[in-house]
Structure 1
Amino acid sequence: MSETTIASSQNDRPLAFTQDEIGWAPWLTPLSEDHLTERHWAGLVDASRAKSPYFMLLARDPEILEARTKTDRDIFYNLAGGLPRAERELSAAAASRKNGCIFCASVHARFASTYSKRRQDIQRLLDESVSVDIDERWNAVIAASVALVRTPAAFDVRDVERLRVSGLDDLGIVDLIYSAAFFSWANRLMLSLGEPTPAAKS
């Protein structure tokens, strides 16, 4: 990536949380597709991720990227039991909103809206932040996610009891912990490696 590209992204970077699609630009140079070896392709797990500058940057360490991607997929796509997909995405969106990661919040807010069909409530989370009052179940999910983001020790028996009263079973609570914890880490990684940009024009 050239210095010109980085400078232009700083001038028009998105500043508001949104459910719209936006872009992301790394501050370091990602790998190019023609430099990928079989080891890199294996690390990507999904070949379509070669189109993402974020994953192509992480592909510089393919073993860690592979572990990261498989963990991500298991948290969000293994729906055999536990928390519904919509609330896993809500947890990730709340973590991203608390951490200030505009890009991650946009992605997971869209997924949360898609799976819950509650776009206005998700937009309120983005607009009003994590203190938003939606309903007791979603409030409990958001509060527990934020406690994990702030510091894991802030999540305690009171959060667990509130989640249980709101209808989450043990598997659902574990799924929430995984979703929030994973994105608390992922936000910090993304925020340290680049910045959000306007959506690419087709």
Structure 2
Amino acid sequence: MVISWLRVPEEEELPEAVRALFQEFRERTGFVPNVARAFALSPRFPLWFRYYHALMREEGLLTREEREAMAIAISGENRCEYCVASHKRYLKDLTGDWRLSEVLAANPRRAELPPRMRALVDFALKVTHRHHEMTEEDLRPLREAGLSDEAILEAAEVAAMFNFTNRLLNALGIRPNPEYYP
């Protein structure tokens, strides 16, 4: 199976730090994500991964479910096959609800969401499509949903990370692992 339109390096040629990351993936999930295999071509891959991991997997001001919902909504809008597949799987694993993941990917505006998650998804969609039109008023729904300025910054980081990563994956033809599909 083709993983990327670029050369995917063999594991033996990678620096020890990257091979150690691959081993962590195997221990945690049973496989190495194709995005890691493809991004390993870059010497900046460990930096990108540490930031991604801190933003999406560690404790934050947003719940994991909220961050995953934002990731799916953004990735669906950007038509990023890899991120839609992987983050739908992550949200389903967190919630047990495939339907929520499917609706978020297909039409996030119609997803039935709690008010705080709705505010976050709507914010993420505006960052995705009309970031240049944003004003301070766009933060009001987030504040009304109880988010602090620090949590709003985290939401903006998630939105920016997925808009960046979606474009990178799409530009390089990186395909999702079969393990992401039910």
Corresponding position of 1:184: 163
Give the Cα–Cα distance (whole angstroms) in 1 for the partners of residues 41 and 123 of structure 2.
34
Give the Cα–Cα distance (whole angstroms) in 2 for the partners of residues 52 and 76 of structure 1.
15
Structure 2 regions of 5+ residues with no counterpart? 27-31
Using a 3 Å threshold, how does the CA distance of structure 1 residues 109 and 158 change in structure 2: closer, same or farther?
A: farther
Corresponding position of 2:12: 34
CA deviation digits over 1:133-162, x for unaligned, max 9?
Answer: 423332211111111112433343232110
Q: Which has the larger radius of gyration?
A: 1
Q: CA deviation at 1:117?
A: 4.4
Over the residues paired in the alignment, what is the CA RMSD in angstroms? Answer: 2.6
Corresponding position of 1:165: 144
Residue identity in the other structure for 1:181: A
Whether contact under 8 Å (2:61, 2:151) holds in the other structure is: yes
Q: Confirm or deny that 1:57 pairs with 2:38.
A: yes
Candidates 131, 148, 152, aligned match of 2:131: 152
Using a 3 Å threshold, how does the CA distance of structure 1 residues 133 and 34 change in structure 2: closer, same or farther?
A: closer
Corresponding position of 1:15: none
Instruction: State percent identity of aligned pairs.
Output: 23
TM-score, normalised relative to structure 2: 0.81
Give the Cα–Cα distance (whole angstroms) in 1 for the partners of residues 177 and 11 of structure 2.
23
Structure 1 regions of 5+ residues with no counterpart? 7-24
Residue identity in the other structure for 1:69: F
Corresponding position of 2:68: 89
Q: CA deviation at 1:118?
A: 4.2
Q: Confirm or deny that 1:174 pairs with 2:174.
A: no
Give the Cα–Cα distance (whole angstroms) in 1 for the partners of residues 104 and 166 of structure 2.
17
Q: What count of residue pairs does the alignment treat as equivalent?
A: 173
Give the Cα–Cα distance (whole angstroms) in 2 for the partners of residues 118 and 161 of structure 1.
29
